[in-house]
Amino acid sequence: MTDASRPAAARTTYLGQNQYGKAENRVVRVYRDGASHRVKDLNVSVALSGAMDEVHYSGSNANVLPTDTTKNTVFAFAKEHGIESAEAFGVHLARHFVTSQEQIQRARIRIEEYGWQRIGDTGHSFARTGQETRTTEITYDGLGFQVVSGLKDLVVLNSTDSEFWGYAKDGYTTLKEAYDRILATEVTARWRFGWTGGAATEPSWEESYGQVRGHLLDAFADTYSLSLQQTLYAMGSRVVEQHPGIDEVRLSLPNKHHFLVDLEPFGLKNDNEVYIAADRPYGLIEGTVLRDGAQAGIPVTD
């Protein structure tokens, strides 16, 4: 007899946090508006949790909605509800799973969205846009929603207006102080909306994404940076200050180092013109900016 199959009083272990679902359902929805088409391309992962102790302890599947059913629901909802935005689609899915299955008490929907841009004037030819991937995570527990949208893989670079000096030093410090350097990073950003459902008006998800992306880029470009930490705070603050519906921004900014190449052996002067872009290791700067009075809600890790 395994420990899981023993009567509860005789067990030496117990079940902790758990969830299950179908990950990475790739759904493409084409809107055929006459000759001019639109494409929504999503990667949807569903995770459900609730009264699932018995399936772990005894193998009883009585409370288990098959993961194949969650997959089917994603594709059916793409037709029935459409995909106005990744956020709205995730809200529909999360609400459905919690309200239609008594044993499911919490649903988490994670979505990546891939952009497509029309080619020429055909109306039906597209090229995949590759600047960044849009993300969202919707959680619903029957009482309220938490919506955390974001982006990843957005690479940005300032060729000047960045310094790094005056830092702590010890016997292992070899880095030279820099008074004019390249600052480059690959932005991963997540922002939490204050909207939790109920009678409150649902945000304009598509409009807000463009606005937040613009604020992040503007703050990166406008900040004369003495450290990547300073730039991170400026980017998060710009979003919270300019977008009243967002209470929290979490940023992860790897420092994509660019080092000046020594050209003296070739009799050449390198006046901040030729760099080597280092792949790894890299500095990783992470932080959260909160609206005054707001409580942190974005999970630090998966």
302: confidence class by pLDDT, cuts 50, 70, 90: low
pLDDT at 238: 98
Same domain for 129 and 235, yes or no, is no
Catalytic residue check, 169: no
Same domain for 113 and 182, yes or no, is no
Assigned domain for 7 exists: no
Assigned domain for 5 exists: no
**pLDDT mean over 127-147:** 95
pLDDT at 300: 77
Assigned domain for 287 exists: yes
pLDDT tens readout for residues 157-210: 999 999 999 999 999 999 999 999 999 999 999 999 999 999 999 999 999 999
Q: For residue 106, give both structure tokens.
A: 């919490």
Maximum pairwise Cα distance, the chain: 81
Could you tell me the CA-to-CA distances from 129 to 87, 106, 126, 187, 284 in Å, in that order? 20, 34, 9, 16, 26
Q: Which domain holds residue 170?
A: 150-302
pLDDT tens readout for residues 230-270: 999 999 999 999 999 999 999 999 999 999 999 999 999 99
Active-site position among 37, 67, 152, 288: 67
pLDDT at 286: 98
Assigned domain for 8 exists: no
Calculate the average pLDDT of the chain. Answer: 95
pLDDT at 240: 98
pLDDT tens readout for residues 89-134: 999 999 999 999 999 999 999 999 999 999 998 888 889 887 899 9
pLDDT at 2: 55
Assigned domain for 212 exists: yes
Same domain for 169 and 207, yes or no, is yes
pLDDT at 6: 57
pLDDT at 124: 87
Q: Compare 124 and 221 and report the one with higher pLDDT.
A: 221
Active-site position among 22, 92, 96, 256: 22
Number of domains present in the structure of the chain: 2
Which of these three, 94, 125, 143, is where a domain ends? 143
Q: What is the dihedral of CA 121, 127, 128, 130, to 10 degrees?
A: -90
Backbone φ, ψ for residue 235 (5° rounding): -65, -50
pLDDT at 83: 98
Catalytic residue check, 129: no
Which of these three, 127, 143, 159, is where a domain ends? 143
Same domain for 35 and 130, yes or no, is yes
Is residue 5's pLDDT more than 70? no
Assigned domain for 115 exists: yes
Contact 47, 20 (CB under 8 A): yes
Concatenating the DSSP letter of every residue in 140-168 gives: E-SS-EEEEEEEEEEEEEESSSB-B-S--
Same domain for 87 and 157, yes or no, is no
Assigned domain for 47 exists: yes
Same domain for 189 and 105, yes or no, is no
Same domain for 128 and 163, yes or no, is no
CATH number for the domain harbouring residue 194: 3.10.270.10
Catalytic residue check, 215: no
pLDDT at 131: 84
Same domain for 21 and 91, yes or no, is yes
Assigned domain for 6 exists: no
Active-site position among 70, 160, 257, 258: 257
Q: For residue 112, give both structure tokens.
A: 């990546």
Nearest to 104 by CA among 53, 46, 64: 64
Same domain for 101 and 125, yes or no, is yes
Same domain for 161 and 295, yes or no, is yes
Same domain for 168 and 287, yes or no, is yes
Nearest to 283 by CA among 166, 183, 140: 183
Same domain for 293 and 157, yes or no, is yes
Which of these three, 112, 143, 174, is where a domain ends? 143
Is residue 55's pLDDT more than 70? yes
51: confidence class by pLDDT, cuts 50, 70, 90: very high
